[in-house]
């Protein structure tokens, strides 16, 4: 059973790393919005920036 003296502290270290990662993600704004990123896969690629400017109005019809 001596192995638990290694495994338990190791487990605690892993929990600490996980928690640190979570704190980092929260501070980075990863959890500020949990709904809309799911929709981002539906966003098409950005339109090429070149022809814009003159025909914005036409784009909207």
> Residue 35, SS3?
coil
Chain-centre distance for alpha carbon 48: 25
Residue 17 corresponds to which tokens in the numbers above? Answer: 């790393």
What does the alpha-carbon distance between residue 11 and residue 8 come to, in Å, rounded to a whole number? 5
Query: Nearest approach, Cβ of 28 to another protein (angstroms)?
Result: 10
- Tell me, what DSSP letter sits at residue 51? T
Binding mask 16-55 for another protein (x = CB under 8 A): --xx--xx--xx-x-xxxxxx-xx--xx--xx-x--xx--
How many residues bind another protein (CB under 8 A)? The answer is 33
- Residues in touch with another protein (CB under 8 A): 1, 4-5, 8, 11-12, 15, 18-19, 22-23, 26-27, 29, 31-36, 38-39, 42-43, 46-47, 49, 52-53, 56, 59-61
């Amino acid at each position: 059973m001596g192995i638990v003296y290694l495994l338990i502290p190791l487990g605690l270290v892993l929990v600490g790393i996980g928690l640190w990662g979570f704190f980092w993600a929260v501070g980075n704004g990863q959890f500020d919005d949990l709904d809309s990123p799911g929709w981002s896969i539906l966003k098409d690629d950005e339109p090429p920036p070149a022809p814009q400017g003159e025909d914005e109005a036409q784009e909207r019809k």
